[in-house]
Amino acid sequence: MSGQGAPDLTVTGSGLRVAVIAGSWHQEITEAMINGAAETLSDACADFKIYRVAGAFELPLAAQTALQNGYDAAVCLGVIVRGGTPHFDYVCDAVTAGLTRVQLDSGKPVGFGVLTVDNEQQAFDRSGLPGSKESKGKEAAEAALHLAVTCRDIA
C-alpha cells in the first residue's frame, strides 16, 4: 500500500480559500474522500467550499475556474475504475495532464485525490471509510495546503 511512510504535511491554513471539487461517480467512496478533505481543511482553519462535477474528466476545468476566481488552492477528488475498454487510460491521462496543467498555469496548488484503480475494493482501501487503510481525500487536502503555504513562503 502506498500510504506507508507518508509524510506529516500538517500546516495552518488560516487565510487560505480552498475549493474542494469532486466527481459524482462511486458516491460512497467519493463522499468519504470529501469528508477526509473537509476535516483536514477545517482542522487547518482554511476556508473551503465543496463543488460537485459530473466525473473526473470535468475536474481540470472546475479547478481552473476556481483558481481564476479567488481560490488559493483546489483539492480535486474522483474515482476512476478500470473497465474493459481503453476509456480508463484516456480519462486517467486526461485528468492527470489537465490538473498538472492547471497547477502550473495558475501557479496555485492542486491537490490530486483522483483514485485510478483496477477495482472498487482498491478504491475503498484508499477512501477513508471505516476499515480502509488510507484517506486520499485527507492526503490531497494536506498536500494542497502544504504547497500553498510553501509557495507563499518562497514568494
- List the strands of the sheet with 110-117, edge to edge: 47-52, 17-22, 73-81, 110-117
What backbone phi and psi angles, to 5 degrees, belong to 10?
-65, 125
Pick the catalytic residue: 3, 14, 27, 87?
87
C-beta neighbour count of 95 within 10 angstroms: 23
Nearest to 23 by CA among 51, 54, 66: 54
CA pair distance 151, 155, nearest whole angstrom: 6
Annotated catalytic residue 26: no
- Cα–Cα–Cα angle for 55, 15, 57, nearest 5°? 10
| Among 114, 136, 147, residue whose Cα is nearest residue 18 | 147
The residue among 123, 139, 142 whose CA lies nearest residue 82 is 123
Kindly list the catalytic residues: 87
